[in-house]
Amino acid sequence: MTDELLLAIENRVAVITLNRPDKRNALSPQMIEAFHAYLDQIDADDLARVVCLRAAGEKAFCAGADLGGGLAGAPDDASSPPRRYAALLGRMAGFGKPIVAKVGGPCLAGGTGLMLASHIVVARADVYFSLPEVNVGIFPFMVGALLLRNVLWKKALEMALTGRKVGAEEAERIGMITSAVAPEDFERHVDGLLGGLSGRSPVGMRLGLEAFRRLIDMPLEAGLQDLSLTLLKAAKTDDAREGVMAFLEKRQPNFTGK
């Protein structure tokens, strides 16, 4: 594993830290591989119920790919950094535990992809987002797939073609992020969110995340049928029974993830 990406699990929260502040937390191939390995570890750990993706330092949340990493000479196969990065975005978007991106600094290029692949994004109100790939002769290809699932077509295309900076408040308005929070409230807001999610039913959240992921490409009628079956499945879990009993008994539920 690499010191450029860190993992700590405490109080049911798995914290992944982009730890390359001197390089604006730019993604190296080693970081991408470590990210895959950490997701494997978190998925298998019942003590980890929610993931927080954060970054060291305040210069940047993530500046995207490390342009000094030899992108042009990368092999055109599944092991290449671009292909592994694309696979990482897909894994994050489809992950069975909520991923909360805690964005406390500027987020650029592939860093915006990591943010968009997260299920919930909380950003400080004074940060910005940008897709500057066009300035170096390329385009935010993989990031675009996620951007179009969050932002209207023309707004997404404008961002990709101009590379302009989008402030956090605008990003919230157009659907890029969940919340833009004042700097003085940022830490408290994220801590409260993570604490709340860590107390939810793991099996309920997994079924819900999987269902929402399937719904993206499903027609309405098919989606409703799918959700009705998923509801019946969820209702048979131990956590659902515990949740109902706790409600009737006016106490906090003790979810086990079963």
Q: What is the CATH number of the domain that holds 129?
A: 3.90.226.10
Across the chain, which distance is largest between two alpha carbons, in Å? 63
Mean of the pLDDT values across residues 63-73? 69
Residue 256 confidence (pLDDT) above 80: no
> In this structure, are 240 and 183 located in the same domain?
no
Shared-domain flag, residues 175 and 161: yes
Task: Exactly one of 4, 10, 58, 133 is catalytic; name it.
Answer: 133
What is the distance between the alpha carbons of residues 130 and 115, in angstroms, rounded to a whole number?
Answer: 12
Please check whether residue 189 lies inside any domain of the structure.
yes
pLDDT of residue 227: 83
Cα dihedral: 210, 41, 146, 5 (round 10): 160
CB burial of 37-74 (b: ≥16 within 10 Å; e: otherwise) equals ebbeebeeeeebbbbbbbbbeeebbbbbbbeeeeeeee
Shared domain for 117 and 42, answered yes or no, is: yes
Same structural domain, 228 and 134: no
Asked whether residue 240 is assigned to any structural domain, the reply reads yes
When pLDDT is averaged across residues 203-221 and rounded to a whole number, the result is 89
Asked, for residue 173, whether it belongs to a domain, the answer is yes
Tokens of 245: 């009993």
Q: Same structural domain for residues 74 and 166? A: yes
Contact 218, 225 (CB under 8 A): no
Give how many domains the chain has, as a whole number: 2
- Kindly state whether residues 117 and 217 are assigned to the same domain: no
Residue 128 belongs to what domain range? 5-198
What pLDDT sits at residue 217?
A: 84
Q: Does residue 144 form part of some domain?
A: yes
Of 31, 176, 78, 168, residue with least CA distance to 118: 176
Q: What is the pLDDT of residue 66?
A: 80
My answer on whether 15 and 127 are in the same domain is yes
Residue where a domain terminates, one of 164, 179, 198: 198
pLDDT at 75: 63
In a domain, 258, yes or no: no
Least confident span in 96-110, 197-211, 225-239: 225-239
DSSP letter for 97, please: S
- Our answer to whether residue 133 is catalytic in this structure is yes
Q: Do 182 and 226 fall within a single domain?
A: no
Q: Is residue 253 part of a domain?
A: no
- Percentage of the residues of the chain whose pLDDT score is greater than 90: 67
On whether both 227 and 186 belong to a single domain, the answer is no
pLDDT at 196: 95
pLDDT of residue 237: 81
What are the tens digits of pLDDT across the range 92-118? 999 999 999 999 999 999 999 999 999
Residue 257 lies in a domain: no
Same domain, 179 and 226: no
pLDDT tops 60 at residue 72? no
Same domain, 57 and 147: yes
What would the pLDDT profile of 11-31 be if each residue is shown by its tens digit? 999 999 999 999 999 999 999
pLDDT digits (tens, 9 = 90+) for 40-61: 999 999 999 999 999 999 899 9
pLDDT of residue 192: 97
Whole-model pTM?
A: 0.91
Is 80 within a domain? yes
Q: Indicate if 193 and 137 belong to the same structural domain.
A: yes
Between 206 and 77, whose confidence is greater? 206
Tokens of 247: 């409600």
